[in-house]
Amino acid sequence: MERSLTMELVRVTEAAALASARWMGRGKKEAADNAATEAMRKVFDTIPMQGTVVIGEGEMDEAPMLYIGEELGTGHGPEVDVAVDPLEGTNILAAGTWGAFAVIAIADRGNLLHAPDMYMDKIAVGPECAGKIDINAPVIENLKAVAKAKNKAIEDVVAIVLNRPRHDQIISEIREAGARIKLITDGDVAAALNTAFDFTGVDIMFGIGGAPEGVLAAVGLKCLGGELQGKLKPQNDEELRRCHEMGIADVDKVLTMDDLVKGDDCIFAATGITDGELLKGVQFKEGSIGTTQSLVMRAKSGTVRFIDGRHSLKTKPNLVMK
């Protein structure tokens, strides 16, 4: 992939963030998601690449979402797989709470797992703990491994978990081990990434979330040297059939980083919509100015950039809610 795509992708997530931020706290998650999607699609049309959505928000008949199989870009340039979530955390934005962002990941054609829209059990850590975790091991063993790798007492380890009834057992085991917990309402892509940045205070992520979000998080962690392991969790015969169509005969197979994102070249970009541990959210300033904070990373070069943007909205009427 051309390195110039790195900065081009930031333009896409910035546009989505600015468009959807107008809906913060208004309780209309579908309208916010539509605004983010429309803004993304318009900027994608200007990017010199031959992109195909392999992880999106639905099938072709579910437009206007960025659907699986949709072609993005100008039709010239590198051929890439695209994983996209125009608004990661629709409920977060609708409530005006913590940690919504717009996110994209790309890799060379054929290198991203075509994750079905089903649950995935996940465990994620940052670079210090890569190679030390095992999704099949007991919770306490993974906590001990993280504590040892980070030279911490287990009481000082912070695990981040989606606050769902399905995680009651995991939460109980973390508490019994003496580790601390950060419970979140939504947004496990951000949760996984937070494990790789010391300033967030998060050491490990546990729990079941969306499989597409697992691939997005894996791309980000590959750029950072971290690790995510996953196991698909089909809930019915139809989902099991989809796994088999993907070539996964054994649904208990542990999906490693190389299963989720192959090769050594991938790019991850995200822009904050509401404030989070990792990124500041969009703010609208006097004089029709919008400010953004974005994260963009490329695995091949190991480059990690935090980008503060200042945008004139006078020339972008499509970003103004009517």
For the chain, the average pLDDT equals: 92
Is the predicted pLDDT of residue 68 greater than 90, yes or no? no
Q: How far apart are CA 209 and CA 189, in angstroms?
A: 9
Is the predicted pLDDT of residue 65 greater than 90, yes or no? no
Q: Which of 54, 80, 69 is nearest to 1 (CA)?
A: 80
Interval 168-174 mean pLDDT: 98
pLDDT digits (tens, 9 = 90+) for 216-251: 999 999 999 999 999 999 999 988 888 888 777 888
CATH assignment of 2-111+263-310? 3.30.540.10
Is residue 125 within 8 Å of 200, Cβ to Cβ? no
DSSP state of 230: E
The confidence score (pLDDT) of residue 56 equals 79
- DSSP one-letter string for 19-67: HHHTTTTSS-HHHHHHHHHHHHHHHHTTSSSEEEEEE-SS-GGGTTS--
Is residue 18 within 8 Å of 282, Cβ to Cβ? yes
Q: Which of 276, 305, 271 is nearest to 291 (CA)?
A: 271
Which amino acid is present at 174? I
Instruction: Record the tokens describing residue 218, joined without a space.
Output: 């894996």
264 labeled binding residue = no
Strand 283-285 and strand 303-312: pairing? Answer: unpaired
pLDDT digits (tens, 9 = 90+) for 175-186: 999 999 999 999
88 labeled binding residue = yes
Is the predicted pLDDT of residue 45 greater than 90, yes or no? yes
56 labeled binding residue = no
Is residue 72 within 8 Å of 9, Cβ to Cβ? no
pTM over 0.75? The answer is yes
User: Is the dihedral angle over the CA atoms 300, 75, 60, 296 positive or is it negative?
Assistant: positive
67 labeled binding residue = no
Is the predicted pLDDT of residue 64 greater than 70, yes or no? no
Is the predicted pLDDT of residue 31 greater than 90, yes or no? yes
pLDDT band at 315 (very low <50, low <70, confident <90, very high): low
- What is the gyration radius of the CA atoms in the chain, in angstroms? 19
pLDDT digits (tens, 9 = 90+) for 146-160: 999 999 999 999 999
User: Where along the chain do its domains lie?
Assistant: 2-111+263-310, 117-258
CATH class of 117-258: alpha beta
Q: Give the CA distances from residue 297 to residues 80, 199, 216, 219, in Å, rounded to whole numbers and listed in that order.
A: 16, 17, 13, 9
pLDDT digits (tens, 9 = 90+) for 7-24: 999 999 999 999 999 999
210 labeled binding residue = yes
89 labeled binding residue = yes
Is residue 275 within 8 Å of 285, Cβ to Cβ? no
Q: How far apart are CA 251 and CA 142, in angstroms?
A: 22
108 labeled binding residue = no
Is the predicted pLDDT of residue 172 greater than 50, yes or no? yes
Helix axes 139-149, 168-177, angle to 10 degrees: 50
pLDDT band at 58 (very low <50, low <70, confident <90, very high): low
Percentage with pLDDT > 70 across the chain:
94
57 labeled binding residue = yes
6 labeled binding residue = no
164 labeled binding residue = yes
Largest CA distance in the chain: 57
pLDDT band at 197 (very low <50, low <70, confident <90, very high): very high
